Amino acid sequence: MTVDLIDCERQMKVMCRQKPARPAHGAMEEWMMPGKPVRNRRLGIVLLGGTGLMLAAIPAPAHHSTAMFHWGKEMEMKGAVVERWDWTNPHTFLYVALPGKNGQTEHWAFEGMSPNHLGRTGWNKRMFKPGDRIDLTYYPLKDGRKGGFNVTVKLSDGTVKRQLDSPTTRPDRPGS
């Protein structure tokens, strides 16, 4: 029995000094993850990638800055002619033309609230047509370009529409 233990110890020492044999090319995944089939690893990678894509598709809360406008510095524009009315997300845009000081037509662009917000306060995508004459107020752009944030619009029939009305205000019931 003593001989058997000594032989066993010698064999263990020899085995511990030897490096484990590297597998042949193509069996690398098996060598790196012994006992795990390659297809399970691939499935895990696919599931992890799919989860990442789904998380990336979740809408994040957006923040739209008003830093480009002189917020609160309301300017007036009378006799503007509507060129185009874009009822698009995330913001509406109103493009108007106005006779300039030198007789040349000036083209202005005004950003507005979202169609969702405006729709709840009585606005709609067909309320302006090219050629309509309107008066409006706006917060100008800080960089001096011709445009700003549209605050109010006075239609030819005298109706005044406000961009910043609360959606809880009923447009069909003034003072509500």
pLDDT at site 176: 46
Band of the pLDDT at 67, cuts 50, 70, 90?
confident
Q: Identify the CATH number of the domain in which residue 112 sits.
A: 2.40.50
Question: Does the pLDDT of residue 19 top 70, yes or no?
Answer: no
Domain residues for the domain of 111 are 75-162
On whether both 151 and 84 belong to a single domain, the answer is: yes
pTM, two decimal places: 0.60
Give the model confidence (pLDDT) of 133-157 as tens digits.
999 999 999 999 999 999 999 999 9
Q: Which residue has the tokens 């509406």?
A: 92
53 and 110, same domain (yes or no): no
Q: Is the pLDDT of residue 25 over 90?
A: no
Please check whether residues 147 and 94 belong to one and the same domain.
yes
Which of 113, 107, 99 lies closest to 145, judged by CA?
A: 107
Residue 170 lies in a domain: no
Into how many domains does the chain fold?
Answer: 2
More reliable by pLDDT, 4 or 124: 124
Encoding tokens for residue 172? 């069909």
The answer to whether the CB of 99 falls within 8 A of the CB of 47 is: no
User: Do the domain assignments include residue 41?
Assistant: yes
C-alpha distances (whole Å) from 95 to each of 21, 55, 66, 80, 147 are 74, 37, 19, 9, 9
Is residue 15 one of the residues assigned to a domain? yes
